[in-house]
Amino acid sequence: MENINIYENRINKICVWCLKSSIEVPFKRKAHVFPISLGGTAICENVCDNCNNYFGAKQNLSTPSVEIALKEPLNISKYYLLSQFKNSPKLSKFKSEYFDYDFIKQILKPKFKYRYLADFQKNFVKQFKRGIYKVFLEQRSIDCSDAFDDKFNFIREFARYGVGDFPVFYCRPKEKLIFVSDDVRIPQIRFTESIEEIINQYGFYAYWFFSHYLAIPTISNYDITKDNYFKYLFKTQTKLSAIDRIIEIKEMPDLDFTYSFMND
Closest CA to 68 of 200, 252, 216, 213: 252
Choose between 138 and 263: higher pLDDT: 138
Burial string for 148-183 (b: 16+ CB within 10 Å, else e) reads beeebebbbebbbeeeeebebbbbbbeeeebeeeeb
Q: Which residues pair with 215 in a beta bridge?
A: 169, 206
- Predicted local confidence at residue 4, as pLDDT: 38
Choose between 240 and 121: higher pLDDT: 121
Least reliable range by pLDDT among 91-95, 143-147, 226-230? 91-95
Is the pLDDT reported for residue 89 higher than 80? no
Banded model confidence at residue 178, pLDDT cuts 50, 70, 90:
confident
Choose between 75 and 227: higher pLDDT: 227
CA distance 250 to 247: 9
Cβ atoms of 209 and 74 closer than 8 Å = yes
Q: Is the pTM of this model over 0.75?
A: yes
Choose between 55 and 212: higher pLDDT: 55
Is the pLDDT reported for residue 2 higher than 50? no
- Predicted local confidence at residue 9, as pLDDT: 45
CA distance 73 to 93: 15
Spacing of C-alpha 259 from chain mean position: 18
Q: Determine how many CB atoms are found less than 10 A away from the CB of residue 6.
A: 9
Least reliable range by pLDDT among 117-126, 132-141, 173-182, 185-194? 173-182
Over residues 161-174, the mean pLDDT reads 94
Banded model confidence at residue 31, pLDDT cuts 50, 70, 90:
very high
